[in-house]
Amino acid sequence: MDFDFTPEQMAMRKHMRDFAEREIAPKAAANDRACKFDWEIAKKIFAEGFLGCPVPEKYGGLGMDYVAYGLMTEEVNRVCSSTRTLFSVQTSLVALTILKWGTEAQKMELLPKLCNGEYIGCYGLTEPEAGSDAGNQQTKAVKDGSDYLLSGQKTWISCGSIATHALVFATVDSKLGHKGITCFIVDTKSKGFSAQPIHGKLGLRASDTSSLFLDSVRVPAANMLGQVGDGFKVAMSALDNGRFSVAAGAVGLVQGCIDACTTYAMQRITFGKPIGEHQQVQAMIADMVADCEAGRLLYLRAAHLKNKGVRNTLETSLAKLFAGEAANRAGHNAVQIYGGYGYSDEYPVERYFRDAKVLNIYEGTREIQRLIIAQDALGIRNANGQSSGRMTALAGTANEPQLASV
């Protein structure tokens, strides 16, 4: 693993940082208060081509690697977690999943429009009774001639109300368990498809989160992603990418806390000196810095493996678990450093504190990540009798972990 960034990676990082500070940061607090998805910012992101960072140029992307994508995602989340959600869904969960599992016709049709923002995607896996137990899909797919009729409900779907296309996971036969799950690309304008925004969220208030309802939605068999029964594998591979961008984003949130706290700590005076000169404050800032550096190295290791095409479920889970926990520690300490001011939205640390919590929940709860990591360490085999151990993972085999995510 090369610890030196290439000129292209550094250029992408700087370009994204400049864009985030100029276009995203000034509106982040107001959009959070208004619970507003900012289409003006989104359109500027589309115009820059950021959403296609790791997608090959052949399909309308920038053709850059996962290190560049991770650095870019970190810079977005450094100023706004809600905006980073758009990247995680559009790029990691949707575009990269179509890139891996789609037919050439599907890739040529969908990827360029996902990269330029003409299409917006969402990832319809979670259901009211299927969060971490993702194999318990209740949405049904019934064969009808050359089509399938999809019926069911999805919930906590990021970008659900703004999406033009949804990856919907449904079972063709509930008796088959996870082997009956199949993934479909659904046009959200289809008859019987509707979305309802979810309000009153603790964090990510400037992102769209919705429930999806499907009432006999007709989907051509040609819109199937992979084959019948591949859906669980499709979902798990998507989550390896989603967890990566969440981990990188979590590191960005920690960095945002560091930036806010180091500035404030040298301006706020107590007992005749800046609070940054008090050892208790220094200890909290030191913990943030250590967590930030460690989290960054973990997601960059996962990026390195992704660039090599090596299976990285374990490494991505490690990065997601550690960085998510680190973001929550940083948000907590940032509010503590700001004291009473940190308890109001006058300063960004209150938003960082709220936004951090979801990092322990979505794209696989921290408990699910711990199961993946512990089962690897213990050499426990999953329900398919396959090992998820480190040696198997390093060998690059295609087996998937037993447990999914919310």
Over residues 188-237, the pLDDT tens digits come to 999 999 999 999 999 999 999 999 999 999 999 999 999 999 999 999 99
Q: Residue 30 falls within a domain, yes or no?
A: yes
Q: Are residues 154 and 24 in the same domain?
A: no
Region 313-332: mean pLDDT is: 98
Q: What CATH number is attached to the domain comprising 171?
A: 2.40.110.10
With a cut of 90, say whether residue 395 has pLDDT above it: no
Compute the mean pLDDT over every residue in the chain, rounded to the nearest whole number. Answer: 93
In three-state secondary structure terms, 257 is: helix
Region 139-156: mean pLDDT is: 96
pLDDT of residue 380: 87
Q: Are residues 179 and 311 in the same domain?
A: no
* Cross-strand pairs, 181: 171
pLDDT of residue 386: 47
Residue tagged 């960082």 (tokens): 352
Q: Are residues 242 and 374 in the same domain?
A: yes
Q: Are residues 86 and 131 in the same domain?
A: no
- 363 a catalytic residue: yes
pLDDT of residue 306: 97
Q: Residue 82 falls within a domain, yes or no?
A: yes
Confidence of residue 406 (pLDDT cuts 50, 70, 90): very low
Last residue of a domain, one of 231, 249, 280: 231
Q: Are residues 270 and 360 in the same domain?
A: yes
Q: Residue 1 falls within a domain, yes or no?
A: no
Confidence of residue 402 (pLDDT cuts 50, 70, 90): very low
Residue type, 215: D
Select from 82, 42, 23 the least CA-distant residue to 252.
82
Q: pLDDT tens-digit profile of 46-59?
A: 999 999 999 999 99
DSSP 195: E
Q: Are residues 330 and 295 in the same domain?
A: yes
With a cut of 80, say whether residue 178 has pLDDT above it: yes
Q: Are residues 158 and 246 in the same domain?
A: no
Last residue of a domain, one of 231, 261, 294: 231
DSSP 339: G
pLDDT of residue 401: 33
Q: Are residues 217 and 318 in the same domain?
A: no
pLDDT of residue 391: 34
| Percentage of the chain modeled with pLDDT above 70 | 94
Q: pLDDT tens-digit profile of 59-87?
A: 999 999 999 999 999 999 999 999 999 99
Confidence of residue 288 (pLDDT cuts 50, 70, 90): very high
| Percentage of the chain modeled with pLDDT above 90 | 89
Q: What CATH number is attached to the domain comprising 107?
A: 1.10.540.10
Confidence of residue 384 (pLDDT cuts 50, 70, 90): very low
Q: Are residues 222 and 365 in the same domain?
A: no
Total domains in the chain come to 3
Q: Are residues 201 and 176 in the same domain?
A: yes
How does DSSP assign 214-251, residue by residue? EEEEEEEGGGEESSTT-HHHHHHHHHHHHHHHHHHHHH
Q: Residue 313 falls within a domain, yes or no?
A: yes
pLDDT of residue 382: 58
* Cross-strand pairs, 141: 150
CA 91 to chain centre: 9
Q: Are residues 337 and 268 in the same domain?
A: yes
With a cut of 80, say whether residue 387 has pLDDT above it: no
Q: Are residues 106 and 143 in the same domain?
A: no
Q: Residue 403 falls within a domain, yes or no?
A: no
Confidence of residue 23 (pLDDT cuts 50, 70, 90): very high
Residue type, 304: H
Count Cα atoms within 13 angstroms, Cβ side, for 146: 3
Distances (CA, A) of 363 to 64, 171, 202, 403: 23, 21, 17, 11
- φ, ψ dihedrals at 196, nearest 5°: -130, 115
**How wide is the angle at C-alpha 75 spanned by C-alphas 80 and 92, nearest 5°?**
85
With a cut of 90, say whether residue 399 has pLDDT above it: no
Q: Residue 308 falls within a domain, yes or no?
A: yes
With a cut of 70, say whether residue 88 has pLDDT above it: yes
Q: pLDDT tens-digit profile of 333-346?
A: 999 999 999 999 99
d(CA 79, CA 131): 29
pLDDT of residue 197: 97
Domain holding 170, by residue range, is 122-231
Q: What CATH number is attached to the domain comprising 379?
A: 1.20.140.10
Q: 366-378 and 313-338 are packed helices; what angle lies between their axes, rounded to 10 degrees?
A: 140
Alpha helices, DSSP H, located in 91-138: 96-101, 104-115
With a cut of 80, say whether residue 277 has pLDDT above it: yes
Confidence of residue 3 (pLDDT cuts 50, 70, 90): confident
Q: Residue 174 falls within a domain, yes or no?
A: yes
Region 34-42: mean pLDDT is: 97
d(CA 100, CA 90): 14
Considering the entire predicted model, what is its pTM? 0.92
Q: Residue 404 falls within a domain, yes or no?
A: no
Torsion of Cα atoms, 243 then 83 then 183 then 189, to 10°: 170
d(CA 249, CA 229): 32
pLDDT of residue 381: 66
Burial code (b: 16+ CB inside 10 Å, e: under 16) for 179-196 equals bbbbbbbbebeeeebebe
Last residue of a domain, one of 231, 263, 293: 231
Catalytic annotation, pick one of 75, 127, 363, 400? 363
Confidence of residue 253 (pLDDT cuts 50, 70, 90): very high
